[in-house]
């Protein structure tokens, strides 16, 4: 009964932020400070819900790993200080590291630039039975590269392939790639943690003023704030053109980290439950083997 209640509540929490057809999606329709029916005084209850969610995730992951059929790819995108690292850390805290892979994608290396833009991410796709986490991803090729066209010039593409339609072409390529993954047993769920410009400023100042958080801040973080509007337009266009039924985006309010983590956990629980993971059935031959092993152990 407890499991059914968790699954039901997970669907209720994740559903308002799920985008499956993005043609008319508007980023302004999502309030970064939204917490649905939860208030600030509900934070203890939210933390308790997160703990229960982590427990449910661990159970589902264990069955996913044992079944060895499906894989789940989780993609996190956000502006700096939106809380990607914290969400990954807290939501995945109870998972078995043996069945979980985390990759962070920063500026491409010289080797990366000698390949197509999907190459470095394709190498890191999760094995069957595993959960793969991309902290940033190939979507950077429609975000930072779009906001900073000079990065596109470093990709060594033939000039005739770089036209006005390149972003639409990349959206199409990504949709086809994610459809391919789904048809091969790798489910894709994508999260845009939507933080407000005001809250980002507050978190940046906290990083500067708190010595223990100084290491998290770089001058480039503040510099990128100057391109805020361009990034918001790029994110909106990206979500509109790559949100699909089988690889949806979750545009999660990120001004309140406690709420963000609950929603992310809920969406992952829902995704895993949809795979209907189960422990492999043990046949007659295996049962006989177990019985013999039990007998042998009891004799010693």
Beta bridge partners of 74: 133, 189
Q: How distant, in Å, are the alpha carbons of 25, 75, 139, 151, 184 from that of 241?
A: 9, 16, 12, 22, 22
- Answer yes or no: is pLDDT of 241 > 50: yes
Beta bridge partners of 9: none
Q: Are 73 and 137 in contact (CB under 8 A)?
A: no
| pTM of this structure | 0.93
Alpha carbons 130 and 243: distance in angstroms, whole number: 23
Alpha carbons 195 and 31: distance in angstroms, whole number: 9
* Pairing of β 71-78 and β 186-194: parallel
Spatial strand order in the sheet of 100-104 = 18-19, 249-253, 186-194, 71-78, 131-135, 100-104
Alpha carbons 267 and 184: distance in angstroms, whole number: 21
pLDDT value of position 3: 67
Q: Are 104 and 135 in contact (CB under 8 A)?
A: yes
**Where in the sequence is the domain holding 205, given as residue range(s)?**
2-298
Q: Are 216 and 226 in contact (CB under 8 A)?
A: no
Q: How far is CA 112 from the centre of its chain?
A: 22
pLDDT value of position 1: 40
pLDDT tens track for 171-200 = 999 999 999 999 999 999 999 999 999 999
pLDDT tens track for 57-94 = 999 999 999 999 999 999 999 999 999 999 999 999 88
What is the percentage of the chain residues whose pLDDT exceeds 70?
99
Q: What is the per-residue DSSP string for 64-116?
A: HHHHTS-EEEEEEEESTTSSHHHHHHHHTTTS-GGGEEEEE--S--HHHHTS-
Mean confidence (pLDDT) of the chain: 92
Least confident of 49-58, 127-136, 280-289: 280-289
Buried b / exposed e across 186-221, counting CB within 10 Å, b at 16+?
A: bbbbbbbbbbbeebbeebbeebeeeeeeeebbeeeb
Domains identified in the chain, total number: 1
Alpha carbons 160 and 132: distance in angstroms, whole number: 35
Q: What is the per-residue DSSP string for 13-56?
A: HHGGGEES--TT--GGGS-TT--TT--GGGHHHHHHHHHHHHHH
Q: How distant, in Å, are the alpha carbons of 85, 92, 102 from that of 97?
A: 16, 9, 10
Residue 166 belongs to domain with CATH number: 3.40.50.300
């Amino acid at each position: 009964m407890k499991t059914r209640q968790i699954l039901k509540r997970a669907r209720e929490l994740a559903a308002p932020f799920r985008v499956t057809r993005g043609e008319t999606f508007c980023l302004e329709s999502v309030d970064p400070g939204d917490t649905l029916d939860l208030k600030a005084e509900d934070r203890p209850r939210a933390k308790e819900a997160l703990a229960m969610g982590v427990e449910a995730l661990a159970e589902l992951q264990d069955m996913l790993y044992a079944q060895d059929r499906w894989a789940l790819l989780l993609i996190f995108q956000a502006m700096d200080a939106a809380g990607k690292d914290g969400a990954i850390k807290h939501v995945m805290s109870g998972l078995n590291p043996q069945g979980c892979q985390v990759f962070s994608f920063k500026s491409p290396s010289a080797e990366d630039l000698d390949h197509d833009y999907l190459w470095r991410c394709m190498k890191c796709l999760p094995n069957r039975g595993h959960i793969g986490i991309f902290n940033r991803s190939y979507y950077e090729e429609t975000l930072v590269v779009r906001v900073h066209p000079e990065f596109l010039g470093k990709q060594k593409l033939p000039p005739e392939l770089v036209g006005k339609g390149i972003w639409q072409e990349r959206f199409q390529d990504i949709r086809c790639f994610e459809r391919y993954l789904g048809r091969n047993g790798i489910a894709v769920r994508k999260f845009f943690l939507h933080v407000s410009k005001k809250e980002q400023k507050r978190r940046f100042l906290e990083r500067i003023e708190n010595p223990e958080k100084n290491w998290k801040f770089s001058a480039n973080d503040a510099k990128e704030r100057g391109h805020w509007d361009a990034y918001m337009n790029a994110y909106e266009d990206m979500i509109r053109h790559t949100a699909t039924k089988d690889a949806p985006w979750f545009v999660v309010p990120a001004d309140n980290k406690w709420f963000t983590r609950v929603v992310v956990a809920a969406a992952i629980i829902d995704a895993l439950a949809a795979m209907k993971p189960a422990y492999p059935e043990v046949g007659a031959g295996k049962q006989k083997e177990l019985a013999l092993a039990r007998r042998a152990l009891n004799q010693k």
